[in-house]
Amino acid sequence: MNKVYGRIVGLFLLIVLISSAVIYFTVDINTITNLYMFKPWSVIMAILAMVIGLVLDGTRLMHMVRISDENITLEQAVQVVFGNYFLAMLGPGAAAGAIAQVMFLRKAGIPGGKAAVLALVRTLVSIMFLACCLPFIFLHDEGILPGVSNDLMVYVAGSVAVLMVLLAYGIKKNAFDYLAVKITKKLPRKWSRKFVEMYRDSKAAVKLLASSPLSMVRVFFESGLSLIFIYMIVPFLMLGLGVNVDWLTVMGRMMFLNILLYFSPTPGGSGIAEGGFVYLFSSSVPSGTVGILAVSWRFIAEYLPFFVGLYYTITVFGKSVLNKDLDEEESA
């Protein structure tokens, strides 16, 4: 069995194991009673919010591609988005998803160098939006990290946001070139090559961000709107359970959780996402339903797009793409 098939089977088993464990350890005597009152229309609203969010993700990618003096259609952009979901579930953090984005962008006629930069910019803009929101989230919600001062969290989140801006400015002004050369010389040859490529792509990404400020402001807010619609899945599902939803708190906690998932060491954030969800929302939903809600959120937000991404991957590249090694794609 090749690596991709092996990862798909392994992922399926991992999802079943984690989902079963989350539900098993969170159900209680009130679960059936509370689920009996569930309103199915909330699932339709959750899926609709997800669809709108994904379309906005596609349109912001089109605008980023246009800034780089290239063009793709909305259909091609949506394929990139779903392809990202597919491979992102097969690898840790955002690394595997970036491979998929580059593959689909190259298929759409974008040169490989620009495709890699655009994939990086797409991720960076999303992280920047969430980082800018974090200070306001901590100001509003004192219950995210019990035992940690909200003032401290606001200070840390604000410092991270400022640091990201200063880092981007320093890269744009070539302030870190000397340091990058020093680091490269101290790394093993294999890692030094990857570091150079990462630093080169980061510089190109920052230059792209700075090349058209007004257009990037539009992309920034379009990214935020896309994420907001995707995160609305959870409050809609809560409404179906009859919860009086505090939208600011719920959306803030979803942003906090999802920025952690960008750096998750597990495929697609599996395990960390469900555990974090249970921790953050166990007191916000009816007794015995938080585990089922966590699994439902993951199914709509991750697993459905995963299967659509699998379909697009096979449709665009053929079944032979599943016989290729992810490492081979990355090195290409």
d(CA 231, CA 281): 14
- Distance from chain centroid for Cα 245: 24
Write down the pLDDT at residue 118: 87
User: What's the pLDDT score for residue 60?
Assistant: 92
pLDDT digits (tens, 9 = 90+) for 167-211: 777 777 777 777 778 888 778 877 887 777 777 777 777 777 777
pLDDT of residue 4: 67
Three-state SS at 267: strand
**Which residues touch 218 (CB under 8 Å, ≥6 apart)?**
63
Phi, psi for 215 (deg, rounded to 5): -65, -35
pLDDT at 163: 81
DSSP conformation class of 250: H
Structure tokens at 228: 């907001």
**Can you give the pLDDT at residue 257?**
92
Beta bridge partners of 267: 92
Place of tokens 């974008």: 110
Q: Mean pLDDT per segment of 10 residues, for the chain of length 332 residues? A: 70 89 91 89 96 94 88 91 85 67 89 84 87 85 73 77 76 76 79 77 74 83 95 96 92 91 80 92 90 95 91 82 54 48
Note every long-range contact of 210-219, with CB atoms under 8 Å and residues 24 or more positions apart, other chains counting: 210/172, 211/67, 212/67, 215/63, 215/66, 215/67, 216/67, 216/125, 218/63, 219/60, 219/63, 219/64, 219/67, 219/125
Give the pTM.
0.85
Phi and psi at 267, nearest 5°, equal -60, 120
Written in H, E and C, the secondary structure of 80-101 is HHHHHHHHHCCCECCHHHHHHH
pLDDT at site 322 = 62
- How far is the CA of 31 from the CAs of 25, 27, 136, 242, in angstroms? 12, 6, 34, 14
- Report CA torsion sign: 42, 44, 47, 48: negative
Contact between 300 and 233 (Cβ < 8 Å): yes
* Residue type (1 letter), 45: M
pLDDT score of 177: 78
pLDDT of residue 221: 92
* DSSP one-letter code for 111: -
Q: Report the pLDDT value the prediction gives residue 1, as an integer from 0 to 100.
A: 47
